[in-house]
Amino acid sequence: MQIVVTGGGGFIGRRLIAALLARDSLTGPDGRSQPIDRVIAFDKAVPSGTMPEDPRLMAVAGDIADPAALARLIGADTGLVFHLAAIVSGEAEANFDLGMAVNVDGTRALLEACRRLATPPRLVFASSVAVFGGGMPRVIRDDSALTPLTSYGTQKAIGEHLVNDYSRKGFLDGRALRLPTIVVRPGKPNKAASSFASGIIREPLTGQDCRCPVAPDSTMWILSPRRVVEAFLRAAELPGEAFGDSRSLTLPGLSATVAEMVEALRAVGGDAAVARIRFEPDPLIQRIVSGWPGWFEPERAVALGFAADPDIVSIVRAFAEDELGGAAAPAT
Ligand SMILES: NC(=O)c1ccc[n+]([C@@H]2O[C@H](COP(=O)([O-])OP(=O)(O)OC[C@H]3O[C@@H](n4cnc5c(N)ncnc54)[C@H](O)[C@@H]3O)[C@@H](O)[C@H]2O)c1
């Protein structure tokens, strides 16, 4: 089977590709194990640096909104597509046209390329809990209405509806995962409004000062990179019928206030790490984050075997293990 990962050079895409290449096979639509013959990492530019050395991996550069590039990318032997390429929340809010072109037009173009195959491929779409917002119930349930309050959330909601309708029509066998905020993201801050949630852990643990733009009681729904990769693989292996009438699933996560995240940082990095955080409110980020729901009951996903991390400290420890060789920076 050939597997395509769009956004394959990104934070989650790289980890997903490493997890795919660590395996020989995946369960296919017929319920049987199918060998992973090729994994294509598709991104704006050919991903460089830490991609695994594996003859099954091929990197392809192109624009997700370019139908000609997608026609070349999605070949007859494509059995599975993970669609992660996107303009993230802060940038999609700042640049409406770019967000629409990549997140809506690009998604539709990809679905159309899949539709042209004789055998409908499986497709796993990275949606977001940002499809919810505004005057929400305290707890978001599986039947809560999509009420996005940002352009990004709106674009993800459109993507979900398209994945559902293309699946209903039998053009492909899709599933959409609403991702919590994934922490801890390594490297530099990105243009997501939630970028600080990783920054307040990552920077102090690597010996740098950081600024937190939201109040300590701000609440987020969070999940680790390890768990989100497991979720993508699980979603790919489930039979389409398991999803019932809706191909969209909110992933389990942890409801965490910024203050609780800071305490988890203290448990791993000590008081010196916590002292590196400076609270400096940014009204725009605070408004976006306050519009996101902080508590969910994702019963369908739990029943299908998707799982959250056990606690926030485990998430911080996993970052130290996976990205820092197990050790936080010494206090200075
Ligand atoms: N990380 C999170 O907390 C989070 C939360 C909710 C949803 N998501 C979704 O999960 C997916 C992956 O997130 P991530 O954190 O890895 O993001 P990321 O920004 O690290 O990766 C996205 C990738 O998409 C690529 N891309 C952007 N425009 C493109 C284009 N026109 N053509 C081809 N590639 C393009 C980028 O170069 C980047 O490598 C995204 O769809 C994102 O919206 C992420």
Q: What CATH number does the domain containing 67 carry?
A: 3.40.50.720
Who contacts 165 (Cβ-Cβ below 8 Å, separation ≥6)? Answer: none
Put residue 207 in one of left, alpha, beta given phi > 0 → left and psi -120 to 50 → alpha: left
Q: How many Å lie between the centroid of ligand 1 and the Cα of residue 89?
A: 10
Angle between helices 258-274 and 195-205 (to 10 degrees): 20
Range of the domain at 167: 2-179+225-250
> How high is the pLDDT of residue 138?
84
Q: How many Å lie between the centroid of ligand 1 and the Cα of residue 30?
A: 30
Quick one: average pLDDT of 186-197? 89
The answer to whether residue 56 sits within a structural domain is yes
Q: How many Å lie between the centroid of ligand 1 and the Cα of residue 161?
A: 19
User: Radius of gyration over alpha carbons of the chain, in Å?
Assistant: 19
The answer to whether residue 32 sits within a structural domain is yes
* Percent of all residues in the chain with a pLDDT value above 90, rounded to a whole number: 86
Asked if the bond preceding 228 is cis, omega within 30° of 0, the reply is no
**Residue tagged active-site, from 152, 171, 232, 319:** 152
Banded model confidence at residue 332, pLDDT cuts 50, 70, 90? very low
- Is the distance from CB of 183 to CB of 198 less than 8 angstroms? yes
* Cβ of 205 less than 6 Å from ligand 1: no
pTM (predicted TM-score): 0.96
The answer to whether residue 264 sits within a structural domain is no
> How high is the pLDDT of residue 26?
97
Q: What is the residue with the minimal CA distance to atom 28 of ligand 1?
A: 86
Whether residue 251 is predicted with pLDDT greater than 50 in this model: the reply is yes
* Cβ of 282 less than 6 Å from ligand 1: no
Which structure tokens are listed for 178? 């609403």
> How high is the pLDDT of residue 134?
79
The answer to whether residue 325 sits within a structural domain is no
In angstroms, the CA 61 to CA 54 distance is 18
Q: What is the residue with the minimal CA distance to atom 12 of ligand 1?
A: 84
* Cβ of 41 less than 6 Å from ligand 1: no
| Residue range 192-242, pLDDT digits in tens | 888 999 999 999 999 999 999 999 999 999 999 999 999 999 999 999 999
Nearest ligand 1 atom, CA 14: 16
Banded model confidence at residue 304, pLDDT cuts 50, 70, 90? very high
* Cβ of 128 less than 6 Å from ligand 1: yes
- 166 part of the active site: no
* Percent of all residues in the chain with a pLDDT value above 70, rounded to a whole number: 98
Nearest ligand 1 atom, CA 130: 6
| Residue range 254-293, pLDDT digits in tens | 999 999 999 999 999 999 999 999 999 999 889 888 888 8
The answer to whether residue 260 sits within a structural domain is no
> How high is the pLDDT of residue 284?
86
The answer to whether residue 129 sits within a structural domain is yes
The answer to whether residue 261 sits within a structural domain is no
Domain count, the chain: 1
The answer to whether residue 306 sits within a structural domain is no
Banded model confidence at residue 331, pLDDT cuts 50, 70, 90? very low
* Cβ of 182 less than 6 Å from ligand 1: yes
Which structure tokens are listed for 238? 């489930």
Q: What is the residue with the minimal CA distance to atom 26 of ligand 1?
A: 85
* Cβ of 294 less than 6 Å from ligand 1: no
Whether residue 313 is predicted with pLDDT greater than 60 in this model: the reply is yes
Whether residue 300 is predicted with pLDDT greater than 50 in this model: the reply is yes
| Residue range 93-141, pLDDT digits in tens | 899 999 999 999 999 999 999 999 999 999 999 999 999 987 788 899 9
